[in-house]
A and B are shown apart, each in its own frame.
Chain A
């Protein structure tokens, strides 16, 4: 089955700096890659997603890149703010299967 590895497990940055979280997946048939943000005690929130026919996608301060050959995708957050502090999860899915395989999560701490 699919396996998703996520690094780092914790990340501390200063407000205004950039943060990068990286994930690799094992199933070459996976073609949909969402990212979720989960604040303490709250539901995972979809923040951005990318399909395998696209190499990069950007939404304001958040961007995701995908390298299908290397089976690698990354989340980039620029100009970080304290409210970006949360746990971020990457995930992979094969279209039609509707079963996400999640990475282990990255706890991001933005220091004011």
Chain B
């Protein structure tokens, strides 16, 4: 069974640009969540999607958005990039059935904002 797949692996952008990151969950998983990892703030929850709807949201500005498609694949978008957005963005998937809660992470997209 393939794991969680994230693309691209690395991205370099400049301030003011926007970026889209992609995540393909484990087959059968319907919940996809996104996390930001930085040395200073650690791992922080961004948002979670289930059945194409955002179900939960963390404390991030509206510049961070996402969506989920009918095949459970998800994309995350960051607009008007700031230097502080440089981070490893991790996607995690789970069944989302309220019974089996295990979340499995992808390898992440390392975003550098110059």
A residues apposed to B, CB below 8 Å? 1, 32, 34, 36, 42-46, 49, 89, 91, 93, 95-105
A89 to B37, CA, bound (A): 12
Q: In the assembled complex, which residues on chain A have CB atoms less than 8 Å from the CB atom of B48?
A: 98-99
Which listed residue (A43, A97, A101) contacts B105, Cβ 8 A?
A: A43
Contact of B107 among A42, A46, A91, A98 (CB under 8 A): A42
- Given contacts A98-B55, A98-B96, A99-B48, are A46 and B102 in contact (CB under 8 A)? yes
Closest partner residue, chain B, to A45 (CB atom): B105
Q: How many residues of B contact A (CB 8 A)?
A: 27
Can you list, as one digit per residue, whether each of B25-62 has a CB less than 8 Å from chain A (1) or not (0)?
00000010101000000111100101000011011000
* B42 in contact with A49 (CB, 8 Å): no
Q: Interface on B for A, CB 8 Å cutoff?
A: 4, 31, 33, 35, 42-45, 48, 50, 55-56, 58-59, 90, 92, 94, 96, 98, 101-108
B108 contacts A43, CB within 8 Å?
A: yes
CB-CB under 8 A from A89, the residues of chain B are 42-43
B43 with A102: CB separation less than 8 A: yes
The 5 closest A-B pairs by CB, nearest first: A102-B43, A43-B105, A99-B56, A43-B107, A99-B45
> Are A99 and B33 interface neighbours, CB within 8 A?
yes
Q: Given A43-B108, A93-B101, A104-B42, is A98 in contact with B90 using a C-beta cutoff of 8 Å?
A: no
User: Is A43's CB under 8 angstroms from B90's CB?
Assistant: yes
Cα-based distance from A46 to B48 in the complex (angstroms) = 18
Question: Are A96 and B98 also in contact (CB < 8 A) when A34-B103, A43-B108 are?
Answer: yes
